[in-house]
Amino acid sequence: MTLADQVNTVERALGERMLRHAFTIMRSWVHELGLSFYMDRIQTIEDNYDQVFDYFLSADDPERDTLLNKLTGEAYRLSDEIYADLRLRRGLSPQMVGFNPENPQSVMQYFNACVHLQEEDFRWFRALINDPERRTLALLTIQSLSINLRECFNEHAFMLLIEAMSSEVDLVSEQAGSAVIFLLAHYDVRIDFFPEIEDAFVEAVGDGHEAYMAMIAHIEMCKPMAGETHRLTSVEAVDQLLKMMRTPGEEREMGNYIAIMPESEREYMRGIVQILPDTWVYDVLVGENEERQQHAEEAYLHIGHLEPMLDRLPEAERWLVQRLRSKEATAHDYINYGHCCLLRGDRMMAYESYVQARQMCESLREFYNIFRPDRGFLVDRGVPVEQVYMLEDQIVRAGT
C-alpha cells in the first residue's frame, strides 16, 4: 500500500470515527520513524477510546458523541503530526528554513511544500494581507497555502486563511474566502471534529455576502476551458485558479500573470463543486435566503449541474427554456432540459433534446461523459433504468 493509499485509509477511518482502524496504520508510521513518544500518545487516545466504548455499551448519554468527536479530533491532530514527520523522513517534502519574501517563486515553493510552518511565517503573512502594495504576494501565498493544506492539514494555517477573509484588500479577502470555502468542502467530515474552525468561519462570513460571492465566482471558473492556459485580468485573478506563474519580461501586476490549471486540478475543482451543495458550508452561505438560493442555482445551471434544482424542476425548466433561446446554449443545457422533460413524462421532447446535445458534441464519448453521470439521479427520481439505457441506445443511432 502506497503512502497516499495509507493516508486515504486513515482519513476514511477517522471520518467514520473508527479509530482502531486508523491506529493500525499510524503505528506502522511510528515504527518507521522510531519515535516512541508518538506511540505513547496513540496509546493514550486508544485507552480513552476504550473507556468511551465501554460507556457506550452501558449507558445512553448524548455526551458520548461529544466525547467521541473530541477524541477523533485528537487522533486527526496526531495523524497529521506523524504524517508530516514521515514526509520529512522520506524526503517527500523539504524542511524549509526560510524564503525570499520578495520573490514570488520562493514564496510559492515555501508555502506549497513546508510541512512545519513557523510562527514568523504567520506573522509575515498577517502583515501582508492588509498591504495593497503587496497583494500579489498575498494572493500567491493564499494559493500555495491552500494547496499545502489539501495534503497537510494544519489548524493554525487554516485559521490564518480564515483570518485573511477579513483583509482590507478586497482581492485578498475574496481569494481567501474562496480558498477556505473549497478547503472546508474538501474536509467536510473532518471539520466536524474541529468546532473552533467551524465557529471562526461562521463568524468571519458574517451575513455571508462576500464569501458567498467568492463561492459563485469559483463555481463560474469551473466552466470547461479550452487548452491548458488562460490569461487573467486583474479582476479575474480573484477567481483563484490554483497555479500561477509570472510572464517573463512583463510588469509584476496580477494582470500579467498566466494561470495554468492542469486537467487534474480542474477535475479536483469540478469534484468539489459537485459536492458543495450537500455541505454545511453551502448551508451557511446560502441558508434560507431566497435571492441567494436562486443565484446559486442559476450559477450551477450555468455550468451544467442540474442537481441543486432537482426539487424545483419547473423553475429549472423555465430557466433552461430561456437559455435554449439564447445563443449561449451548450450541450449541458440541452441534456439538462431533456432531463426535465423526461422527469415530467415527456419522453419524446427529452429524446429530441438529447439528440440536439449529441449533435453539439464532437463525439459520442463526449456526449456520454456529460450524460452518464446523471443516470443515478434520473433512476432515483423514478425513471426506469431500462428507459435510460434505451434512450442511450437510440442516441448511438442518432449520432451515426
Q: From CA 343, how far away is CA 368, in angstroms rounded?
A: 19
**255 and 334 share a domain?**
no
Structural domain contains residue 13: yes
Structural domain contains residue 145: yes
Domain boundary residue among 90, 125, 145? 90
**16 and 62 share a domain?**
yes
**45 and 190 share a domain?**
no
Q: What is the DSSP string of 290-332?
A: HHHHHHHHHHHHHTT--GGGTT-HHHHHHHHHHHHHSTT--HH
CB burial string 66-102: b at 16+ within 10 A, e below: ebbeebbbbbbbbbbbbbbbbbeeeeebeebeebeee
Structural domain contains residue 16: yes
Question: Strand 244-246 relative to strand 229-231: parallel, antiparallel, unpaired?
Answer: unpaired
Q: H or E element: which one contains 257? A: strand 257-260
**136 and 80 share a domain?**
no
Q: From CA 295, how far away is CA 105, in angstroms rounded?
A: 37
Structural domain contains residue 296: no
**240 and 340 share a domain?**
no
CB burial string 307-322: b at 16+ within 10 A, e below: ebbeeebeebbebbee
364-371 and 385-398 are packed helices; what angle lies between their axes, rounded to 10 degrees? 160
**219 and 336 share a domain?**
no
Q: From CA 188, how far away is CA 51, in angstroms rounded?
A: 27
- Residue 16: give the domain boundaries: 3-90
Which amino acid is located at 327 in the chain? K
Structural domain contains residue 383: yes
**221 and 72 share a domain?**
no
If one counts the domains in the chain, the total is 3
- pLDDT per residue, tens digit, the chain (400 aa), is 888 899 989 988 998 889 999 999 999 999 999 999 999 999 999 999 988 888 777 777 777 778 888 999 999 999 999 999 998 888 877 777 788 888 888 888 899 888 888 899 999 999 999 999 998 899 999 989 998 998 888 999 999 999 999 999 988 988 898 899 989 998 887 888 898 999 999 888 876 777 888 787 777 766 654 333 333 332 333 233 322 322 233 333 333 333 455 667 777 777 888 888 888 898 888 888 888 888 888 888 888 889 888 888 999 999 999 999 988 888 999 999 999 999 998 999 999 999 999 999 988 888 988 899 899 999 999 999 988 888 888 887 765 5
**118 and 9 share a domain?**
no
At 108 the three-state DSSP class reads: helix
Q: From CA 173, how far away is CA 139, in angstroms rounded?
A: 9
Q: Which of 103, 301, 335 is nearest to 219 (CA)?
A: 301
> What is the C-alpha end-to-end distance of the chain, expressed in Å?
45
**260 and 113 share a domain?**
yes
Q: From CA 71, how far away is CA 64, in angstroms rounded?
A: 11
Task: Count Cα atoms within 13 angstroms, Cβ side, for 99.
Answer: 25
